[in-house]
Amino acid sequence: MSFIPKIEKITKDATVVHFFLMFGYKLFSLYFPLFLVAKNFSLPQIGYTNFLIYLPIAIFAPLAGFLNHKINPALLTSIGILGYGVYSLGMILVQNQFIF
């Protein structure tokens, strides 16, 4: 039975990774509106920007749940994290308001 990974280690690893992922997400959520203020966005524009970011998440969540059952969840998660990283880098590297 030594070839079977211990559930405690798997749980610990998953918990630590989830913490770092959520910590980064919360930092983004905290500083993104401040970034938009620095780019001279008005408060309604910041509200619409956040709305347009989270609307597709709400719309496509059922599709993502369906795909999660059809595709390997680790692959789907990796693609999602990679997409989020590309989006975050795009905000840093592209000096165009269209990306928002």
Structure-model confidence comparison of residues 38 and 90, the more confident one:
38
* Per-residue tokens: 30: 């905290």
What is the distance between the alpha carbons of residues 61 and 9, in angstroms, rounded to a whole number? 29
pTM: 0.50
What pLDDT does 22 receive?
87
Phi, psi dihedral angles at 50 (to 5 degrees): -65, -40
Residue reference for tokens 């609307």: 55
38: pLDDT confidence band, cut at 50, 70 and 90? Answer: very high
| Residue 36, Cβ density class (10 Å: 0-12 exposed, 13-18 middle, ≥19 buried) | buried
pLDDT in tens, 44-76: 999 999 899 889 989 999 998 898 888 888 888
| Boundaries of every domain in the chain | 7-99
Within 1-100, residue ranges assigned H as helices are 7-38, 43-70, 73-93
What pLDDT does 54 receive?
86
Cα 59 to its chain centre, rounded Å, is 15
